[in-house]
Structure 1
Amino acid sequence: MEPVARAFAHVANMLFPRGCVGCDRPDAVLCPECHALFNGCLAQTLGTAEMGRWFACGWYRGAVRQAILSWKDHGDEECDRPFSEVLCSLAEQAGLPDHLGNVSREQVLIVPAPSSLASMRQRGRRHMMPLATGLASYLCARTGMHVRACEALENRGTAGRSVETGGTVQRSQRLKGRITTRGKILLKNKAVILVDDIVTSGTTMRRCVDVLSSQGAEVVTVLSLAHTPAGKPTKAGRHFSSEI
């Protein structure tokens, strides 16, 4: 967010106390009830990842959808902290710290899925980086490994929200050749955890994983705030699984 806009937002919050981004309950960034909606551990198959699965905090609907949109598209930076916390909780529930204990790579990178340049200009920031940085700090403290956030990917495509774009084939065509690695970032022999805000069809996620793998990275898993399910999930232990 630009400094002037940030100043206005600060004054507005003083004059008009904010409400929860999910339900507008007064005096809360993310109230306990809405926070609880992000406490799931939704697991879906991802054969190209070391863990064989990717994970989401909750379903992209209702208060979860409202909260993410308020944070993502309306500059609500106060949500960075609670969203970072739910992503760290998801990593713990998914068993990621224990899995990393068996990883022999020289470094672990937390890589945000990239937004288009137009989207970043509109938002005025790289909205996933604070979450990636928070997760990196958590995993570093939790495992003792060298973990850092790294913007290894870029999206050279035009603007367009993945959750509003047509079907899987259309998304795949739109993303073809658009997602690439940035500059001279070296990924060979690095363990990578991809993080995203919303996974819809999984097309963007898989494209990112393919690009990272093509550069020699070992993608451990993918963590997302929310998932838009294509079909009815089936319960499997403490997770919910669906093939996409």
Structure 2
Amino acid sequence: MGWHGFARMLTEVAGSLRDVLLPRGCAGCDMPDAVLCDDCRASGGGFTSFAMPGTVSGRAIACGAYRGPLRRAILRWKDHGDEECDGPFADMMADALLSSGLLASDPMPVTTLVPAPSSPRSMRERGRWHMRNVTNSLARSLRRRGMDVDTAALLRTTKTSGKSVQMHGAAQRSRRLQGHIVIAARPPYPRNVILVDDIVTTGTTARQCAQALNAAGIHVTTVICLARTLRTGENIDD
């Protein structure tokens, strides 16, 4: 068994023991018997769109602001192995996409969901590629609502220095990622894709992903993310 499999097994065992010994609590507020309660889903202020160069729509969509209980839930899911949040987070992103109107064409063209890549180091530490898992859940959620979507893990990262959360400002993040996000699959490629990300801070990662996809002739309709980090003094509706 490789490290990936061993880490995943430990996560599953820990989760099973937790469910036996302790009641399941909401990932955002610890309310008993909820994976993610309605109040915590809404705590980011609701979905919003913001500028995203390199996409056909020119916009990205976030389920809310990266703050409060929603932030706590994302961190538990992303870095502390709370994989049960895949389903609620996927439903939140599906709701935001449908509310945006970007999937409203009739008939909607076949669209492929592409997870943002994680570094090999991050995947080793987490024991999973969290974005691929939630992207697969998002596809299932959209198909239940009649959308014709599939998924493809088209992107990967090559060696980078430092974690993105340790970078300060868009310029540093851009230098870190420049040329390090590449297409990992061979043609033929899907024509239309939606990029799926977790948190958009400066937008550098999403833009670099869009650039790599565009360079391969792939049209990026939009970027959907769980949360967006607001600038000082910015409101969710700005």
The TM-score, its normalising length taken from structure 2, stands at 0.89
Distance in 2 (alpha carbons) for counterparts of 1:154 and 1:180? 6
Structure 1 residue 193: Cα displacement: 0.1
Q: 2:49 aligns with which of 43, 52, 60?
A: 43
Change in CA separation of 1:77 and 1:141 when aligned onto 2, cut-off 3 Å: closer
Q: Is residue 230 from structure 1 mapped to residue 231 from structure 2 by the alignment?
A: yes
8 A Cα contact 1:57 1:225, kept in partner: yes
Structure 1 residue 178: Cα displacement: 0.7
Residue 166 of structure 1 aligns to a residue whose secondary structure is coil
Structure 2 residue ranges without an equivalent (≥5): 1-6
Q: Is residue 108 from structure 1 mapped to residue 115 from structure 2 by the alignment?
A: no
Distance in 2 (alpha carbons) for counterparts of 1:203 and 1:160? 15
Q: How does 1:156-195 map to 2 (within 5 A)?
A: 156-158=158-160, 160-187=162-189, 190-195=191-196
Q: Is residue 127 from structure 1 mapped to residue 130 from structure 2 by the alignment?
A: yes
8 A Cα contact 1:87 1:135, kept in partner: yes
Q: 1:79 aligns with which of 75, 82, 85?
A: 85
Structure 1 residue 65: Cα displacement: 1.2
Q: Deviations over 1:138-193 (max 9, x none)?
A: 44454553x21111000113374423321111101100111001031432x61010
Distance in 1 (alpha carbons) for counterparts of 2:123 and 2:163? 12
8 A Cα contact 1:119 1:159, kept in partner: no
Q: Percent identity?
A: 42
Higher strand share: 1
Change in CA separation of 1:78 and 1:137 when aligned onto 2, cut-off 3 Å: closer
Q: Is residue 211 from structure 1 mapped to residue 212 from structure 2 by the alignment?
A: yes
Distance in 2 (alpha carbons) for counterparts of 1:63 and 1:141? 27
Distance in 1 (alpha carbons) for counterparts of 2:50 and 2:225? 11
- The one-letter code sitting in structure 2 at the alignment partner of 1:59 is A
The TM-score, its normalising length taken from structure 1, stands at 0.87
The equivalent of 2:9 in structure 1 is 3
Q: Deviations over 1:105-139 (max 9, x none)?
A: xx421001111110011111111123212322344
- The one-letter code sitting in structure 2 at the alignment partner of 1:151 is A
Q: How does 1:145-160 map to 2 (within 5 A)?
A: 145=148, 147-158=149-160, 160=162
Q: How many residues are aligned here?
A: 232
Distance in 1 (alpha carbons) for counterparts of 2:210 and 2:184? 14
Residue 177 of structure 1 aligns to a residue whose secondary structure is coil
Distance in 1 (alpha carbons) for counterparts of 2:8 and 2:235? 44
Greater CA deviation, 61-70 or 40-49? 40-49
Distance in 2 (alpha carbons) for counterparts of 1:142 and 1:51? 22
Distance in 2 (alpha carbons) for counterparts of 1:45 and 1:225? 16
8 A Cα contact 1:39 1:89, kept in partner: no
Q: How does 1:18-33 map to 2 (within 5 A)?
A: 18-33=24-39
- The one-letter code sitting in structure 1 at the alignment partner of 2:135 is A
Structure 1 residue ranges without an equivalent (≥5): none
